[in-house]
Amino acid sequence: MRLKKITLLSGDGIGPEVSHEGEKLLKVIEELFDYKFEIIKKDFGGIAIDKYGIPLPEDTLDSCKKSDAVLLAAIGGPKYDNLPREKRPETGLLGLRAGLNAFSNLRPVIAFDSLLDSSTIKKEILSGTDLIVVRELTGGLYFGKPKGIEIRNGERVGFNTMLYAESEIRRIAKVAFDIARKRKKKVTSTDKANILDVSQLWRDIVTEVSKDYKDVTLEHLYIDNASMQLIKNPRQFDVILAENLFGDILSDEGAMLTGSIGMLPSASMGDGSFPSIYEPVHGSAPDIAGKNLANPIAMILSIAMMFKYSFNDERIYDTILKSVKNILNEGYRTKDIQQDKCKLTGTVEMGDLICKQVKSFNCKV
Ligand code: NAD
């Protein structure tokens, strides 16, 4: 029996709803496979602000550190938008990533055949898209100092710093090359080296790292061109490597290739000293919270990634992925990926269908 301790941070908005579907799936996995989960629920984000005045209580970070993996749903909401920056939910998110040294964020973008019509992009362009964005997560513009807003020459100026040490670039580049080795063996590194010094260093170090990966093809693209190419011909990409801000933007763009941000999972990991964080790419979607409208698939696929990357269990990863594909092939859709003549379901029903499918797959194994 494999015992796994998972800290679950359900957060705000649709977070608790999609977490609930994730928990149902974990129960099914316990029934079918040789796992036992200890799920520890902790407050994080807006709910922690409401209770303790801060988004990331020490006790929450502590529990995350002591777990085998962290499952995070989503945080934030309009109620917290006007708080001072240090008290906002997003500050908690940055604190969690930094606290667990989660410097690499993996965001797979797979265009499911059955959803090709849900995207705003033409079917023939999208078909066959299967790429992964490797985003640097603990450096760059989101963390660099100096930063702030101050008075200069009688007016307010705002500033942030895009800063990378070569060791930070080297470690994320290695992650991208290692992943490419197990895929189609191509890394596209994005930067703005024609303008930014920090990008020139990024390009130089990535090129240096590539020398240890002669079996992987490296190309460099300026970030503006990369974002255009992602829409023009997404099939050309295998692994896209990006610094923090560029990766944030590119992966939301990637979300639209899949039809909805409600479909996109992610994994955030470090060097193995701390557990990895698995979370949907989407936010707390306050506009649909509490209405049984949220798509739980991003959360469910994040759980699949947890089995692949933290528990080294491709068998369960494949079972979950196949189950999601089957349910979509059968025409079931949440509202965000609704199509003509589909079978419209709510959050709970979609979770039930996927769990049932996982059970039926396992019976056939
Ligand atoms: P969002 O991702 O919450 O929502 C964007 C749009 O996508 C909305 O129309 C929403 O209804 C829809 N959507 C998102 N997830 C969905 C799902 N699972 N199923 C169906 N539709 C879905 O982004 P936003 O509106 O910019 O931000 C809302 C709040 O979430 C803000 O407070 C923001 O700071 C926070 N946020 C949190 C995270 C996180 O927790 N990692 C990430 C992004 C934004």
Instruction: Kindly report the CATH number assigned to the domain that includes residue 194.
Output: 3.40.718.10
Residue ID of nearest Cα to ligand 1 atom 20:
294
Centre a 10 Å sphere on the Cβ of residue 136 and count the other Cβ atoms it contains.
27
Q: What pLDDT is attached to residue 120? A: 84
What's the predicted TM-score (pTM) here?
0.91
For residue 365, the model assigns a pLDDT of 45
Structure tokens at 286: 């306050």
Q: Of 226, 241, 257, which residue sits at a domain end?
A: 257
Closest CA to 300 of 71, 2, 107, 134: 71
Residue 364's pLDDT is 47
Distance 285 CA to ligand 1 centre (A): 4
111, two tokens: 């265009």
Ligand 1 mutation target, pool 49, 284, 338, most atoms within 8 A of CB: 284
Token digits of residue 28: 């099914």
The two tokens of residue 231 are 């829409």
- In a shared domain, residues 125 and 249: yes
Classified as helix, coil or strand, 319 is: helix
CA of 261 to the centre of ligand 1 (A): 8
CA-closest residue to ligand 1 atom 44: 283
Please give the structure tokens belonging to residue 47.
């709910």
The CA distance from 109 to 30, in Å, is 28
Give the count of domains, the chain. Answer: 2
Evaluate whether residue 206 is within a structural domain.
yes
Judge if 139 and 251 occupy the same domain: yes
For residue 215, what are the domain limits?
120-257
Atom of ligand 1 nearest to the CA of 294: 19
Residue 161 lies in a domain: yes
Which residues surround ligand 1 with Cβ inside 6 Å?
A: 14, 74-77, 90, 93, 261-262, 279, 282-288, 294-295, 298, 336
| The last residue of a domain, from among 206, 222, 257 | 257
Instruction: In whole angstroms, give the CA distance from residue 333 to residue 347.
Output: 10
Helices and strands: H and E segment counts in the chain: 12, 14
pLDDT confidence of residue 260: 86
Looking at the structure, tell me whether residues 264 and 252 fall in a common domain. Answer: no
Whether residues 85 and 147 share a domain: the answer is no
CA dist 352 and 343 (Å) reads 14
Same domain, 347 and 289: yes
Residue 115 inside a domain? The answer is no
- The amino acid at 242: A
Instruction: State whether residue 225 is helix, strand or coil.
Output: helix
C-alpha 349 – ligand 1 centre gap (Å): 21
In a domain, residue 114? The reply is: no
Looking at the chain, list the stretches that DSSP marks H as alpha helix, in order from N- to C-terminal side: 15-32, 46-52, 58-65, 89-99, 123-126, 166-181, 197-210, 223-232, 244-257, 297-309, 314-329, 347-364
Task: Answer whether the bond into residue 84 is a cis peptide, omega within 30°.
Answer: no
DSSP 8-state symbol, 55: S
Q: Are residues 128 and 246 in the same domain?
A: yes
Any idea which residue has 């199509």 for tokens? 339
Same domain, residue pair 47 and 175: no
Residue owning the nearest CA to atom 42 of ligand 1: 283
Instruction: Please check whether residue 108 lies inside any domain of the structure.
Output: no
Cα–ligand 1 centroid distance for 280 (angstroms): 10
Of the candidates 240, 257, 274, which is a domain's last residue?
257
What single-letter DSSP state applies at residue 217? E
Q: Within this chain, do residues 221 and 124 fall inside the same structural domain, yes or no?
A: yes
Low-confidence stretches of the chain (pLDDT < 70) are 362-365
Active site residues per annotation:
142, 192, 224, 248, 252
Tell me how crowded residue 193 is: count the other CB atoms within 10 A of its CB: 18
pLDDT of residue 254: 87
> Are 162 and 188 in the same domain?
yes
**Residue 273 shares a structural domain with residue 242:** no
User: Per-residue pLDDT tens for 121-167?
Assistant: 899 999 999 999 999 999 999 999 999 999 999 999 999 999 999 99
d(CA 216, CA 181): 6
Is the distance from CB of 349 to CB of 274 less than 8 angstroms? Answer: no
Which atom number of ligand 1 is nearest to the Cα of residue 81?
Answer: 32
Q: List Cα–Cα distances, 320 to 61, 154, 305, in angstroms.
A: 28, 58, 10
By most ligand atoms within 8 Å of CB, the mutation choice from 282, 292, 295, 345 for ligand 1 is 282
The C-alpha atoms of residue 308 and residue 265 are separated, in whole angstroms, by: 13
Domain identity same for 335 and 211 = no
Query: Which residues, 6+ apart, have CB-to-CB distance to 150 below 8 Å?
Result: 156, 157
Round to whole Å and give the CA distance between 351 and 108: 21
146 cis-preceded (ω within 30 degrees of 0): yes
113 within domain boundaries: no
Q: How far is CA 256 from the centre of its chain?
A: 14
Question: Is 276 contained in some domain?
Answer: yes
One domain for residues 229 and 211: yes
Taking CA atoms only, the protein residue closest to ligand 1 atom 12 is 285
Distance CA 102, CA 92 (A): 14
CB hemisphere CA count around 89 (13 angstroms): 25
Q: Assess contact for 299 and 19: CB atoms under 8 A.
A: yes
Cα of 173 vs centre of ligand 1, distance in Å, is: 29
